[in-house]
Every structure is written in C-alpha cells, then in structure tokens.
Structure 1
C-alpha cells in the first residue's frame, strides 16, 4: 500500500494522545495512543542480530525489509488512511533506524515541563487510590518521593523517554524532528496544529478544537490507571496547584532544555 508513515514520540503526559485525537479528525490521517510496534521493532531488531546463530544468512537489505514490513503488516487493509502516525515513546531513541526505513517520515516529540509531568502522574495515582497502577508495577506502597525517583531514573517512565529525547535532539538525524510543547498545544491549538501541518508538508485541515474525542477506557482500567488517556472534548488551559511537595517540584525545574536556544545547536524546531 502506498502510505506515508510518521511518528509521535517524546515524553509521557505531554499531549501525545491529545495530538493523536486532533489529527484523527482528518479523514486522511490515522493516529492513536501508544501501541505495540515500538516493542515489536526492538525485539525483531535484536533477533536479527548476531546473537541469532542464523544471522549469517540475513543481509542488511533483508533486515530492512523485515523491519519496515512490521508497519505494513500491523497497519493492514483495515486502516484506510493514507497517512499513518504511530505513537511510541521509544521512537526518539531510534531516529537513525526510522530515517533509514522511512526517509520522508517525520517525528513529532511531545514535551512538557518535567515537574508537571511528574505532578500529572502523581495526580492520577491519587485519583485512583483504590487501584494500584501498572506504572508502579501495581505496588500499593511507597511515598511521593519514591515514586518521583522511580519515574525519573534512567529506566523509569519519565527518565527513559527523557534520555531518548535528548539523544534525538542532539543527534545528527534532527532534520525530521520537531518538538511540540504541551503548553503550546493546549493554549493555542490552532497555531500548534498549523505548525504540525507545515512540518509534515500537508495541506491544512479545519479541525474542531471544541469537540475532540478519544476513548481508551478499557486499556486504562486494565492497567489500574483510569484517566491515563483521557482527552477532554474542549481544549483549554486548566490552571491548578501542584500536588507535589515543593522540593520534588523544584527538583525538575531546570530540565526543560528545549526552552533555551543556546541548548539547541542543531536548530531543532520547537513549537
């Protein structure tokens, strides 16, 4: 099938589901929440390596066909859209692979002030106090300090994607990368989405930012985190106080490296 693949990646709780819900209003597009392809891609890449005793029979051309074939197989004929957006936080760590397989593919990395990401996750945990979350391996104990530490470490839900984002931002495959700030998306969705369309080289589409729809209730319930992928119908800035202790909130205050032009040597577009 003659289709274009793009990728949504970046940090958790930073608007990727909202972005997908908006883009899906365009009948030419298909986008959704994070899916299984990122993990399947990593697994297959490992199985095609030298640790497989039969790898001597596998050429790089075959590897390329098999890896790109994952996308065509997963997004089969039931997906009629001409432009597919696959969402996974791991894609920022695979920029060189994506550039090789999909030279015209773009990566939109959703970002947000890290303190508010930690806060958003903590708010979800507190809202669902009677349901331990898969985010913390269904463990009911621990303090906000332990949870913040677990989220921020290199293998954590926030720390892992954050490191992958920095790898993409400072790597040499940045021509196909754009950072989209959550704060921009909710405060001025029309301008933010116009920038996305320009980045993709797509004709503008009249989106309805007052009637956005996305449902993943069954998945969220299964992982013990109702509301994880909740998208409110009307996009708006919602001011509130943080639920984090001040020392936890301020711990991440200087982590938004994308805000400093001096820290952007390759001129990555930040919206």
Structure 2
C-alpha cells in the first residue's frame, strides 16, 4: 500500500456500497464492500492480549507490526499506484487503533436519516419473502417488530454502527471524520464526491454517475439477503413511503443527531 490507506464506515444502508462503486471508477483508488480485515484485526488484538500467555512476548511495536501486516497481506495484490479505501462498520469504534497504525488515515462515514435505514432493511426482507436472512439468524417466523429490535440492539447491525459512529463523532479526532449523508450522495453525487476528494487530499476525478458497474450478488445470496449490496446503473434518489409502522419510524427519528448543529460541538464536517 505505497499510496496509503483511508477508511469507509458509518451506518448500514447509507450509501457505502454506492460510494465504493463510484470510487472504483478512479484507476488510482481501490474500494469495495466490507472487507474481512476488521474481523481479522479484532481476532489478532484478542490473541495478543493478556488473555493469552504468549502476550508476555508481545509489546506495542510488535502489535503494530502484526496489525499492519494484516492490511499489507490482505491488499498485497493491489497495484502500488492505488490508494486503498477499506470498508467496515467497525472502523468508527476503532479510530484510535487506526490512528496508531496509519497516522495519516481519515474516515469517511456514510449516514442516513435513521428510520429509513430500518425501513430499507425491512423492504429487503419483504422483497425476499421466500429467503430468510442471515442478518436475522435465518429466522423465518419474526415480525417487523422483532426485526427492528434485532437491528437496534447494541450488537445489532444498526445499533452497533450507530454507537460506534457517536463514539467517533464525539471523540478526540474530529478532523479525521467526514460524514456523508445518503441524501446528498444520491441527490447530488458530484457535490459529495468533490468534498470527499478534498477531504482525503485526492486530485479531482470526473466520475460517471450514469454508468456504474458493480455486482456482488453472489455475496448477498450467501447472506440470504439478495439485493443487500445492489447498486443501480445510475445514481438517483427514489422517494417512496415507508413500510414501517409509525411508532417504530418515530422511535428512531431523533437518532439522526448529525443534522443538529447544536449536537456537533467538535465541528465534524457533514455534507
């Protein structure tokens, strides 16, 4: 990774796949859906901790070398002229670790009005009515209320990502964060990309938002959730009505904290 690494994180169903699909158009960038490096790093951190007797032989310099080796090894076949953007919802909660490993790295966080995240997942479930999803443990008997609670719990797909985002948002490195609203990315992708490039220090690049080529359907089928990472041929907003019961929609409407300047004391940039 001679050209360095940055990270994409944030909330699910909020545009990270679309952003990666767009960034891949730039021959100087490497981006994709969630990589396994985050899970590998968590496993390595545990193995090198005092929970294992071998940790007496491991100091911080070795920990750093091992963790950097995970990234270097996973991306060993990426062309040296490319800058890597690794995607994982874990990264918001691991910003201090990333800062230690890669002092120049920054974090682009995709966000969305929170009720629509739950709505988007429910749309997928109901669209795939014959295929139980791994996201919900392949449970076939639950209702929208059960699925809402599963997503919302602290280790759920949405709950974990949301609390990790808040940790980074109110942490000590606000200058490393850029929040990109799903609404901005889908309504005005050129504007969003221009700000992302400026934030990461990349030279401008003209993206083709009307001709996107990206297909990871095999991965989605493995998860029992066809369409989870589907990206349309062109970028466009698709207004529709929610299928969530109103009490569920309203319950998390207040969780879109980044839209209120009074709740942004660190001045994190939001576009």
Is the structural similarity TM-score above 0.5? yes
Give the equivalent residue in structure 1 for 2:132. Answer: 132
Instruction: Give CA-to-partner distance per residue, 1:138-195, whole Å, 9 cap, x none.
Output: 0101111111111011111100010000000001022211111100000100000000
**Please, what TM-score do these two structures have when normalized by structure 2?**
0.98
Give the equivalent residue in structure 2 for 1:90. Answer: 90
Contact 2:2 2:80 in 1 (8 A): no
Give the 3-state SS of the residue equivalent to 1:122 in structure 2.
helix
Q: Unpaired segments of 5 or more residues in structure 1?
A: none
Give the equivalent residue in structure 2 for 1:149. Answer: 149
Q: Unpaired segments of 5 or more residues in structure 2?
A: none
Give the equivalent residue in structure 2 for 1:197. Answer: 197
Alignment of 1:103-142 (within 5 A): 103-142=103-142
Give the 3-state SS of the residue equivalent to 2:142 in structure 1.
coil
For 1:54 and 1:28, locate their aligned partners in 2 and report how far apart those are by CA, in whole Å.
40
Contact 1:99 1:173 in 2 (8 A): no
Give the equivalent residue in structure 1 for 2:169. Answer: 169
Contact 1:41 1:67 in 2 (8 A): yes
Instruction: Give CA-to-partner distance per residue, 1:197-252, whole Å, 9 cap, x none.
Output: 00001100010010112110101111111100000011111111111111111111
Number of aligned pairs? 271
**Please, what TM-score do these two structures have when normalized by structure 1?**
0.98
RMSD: 0.9
For 1:75 and 1:125, locate their aligned partners in 2 and report how far apart those are by CA, in whole Å.
33
Work out whether 1:250 is the aligned partner of 2:250. Answer: yes
Give the 3-state SS of the residue equivalent to 1:130 in structure 2.
coil
C-alpha spacing 1:132/1:248, structure 2 compared with 1 (3 Å): same
Instruction: Give CA-to-partner distance per residue, 1:64-115, whole Å, 9 cap, x none.
Output: 0110111000001344552000000000000100111111111001000110
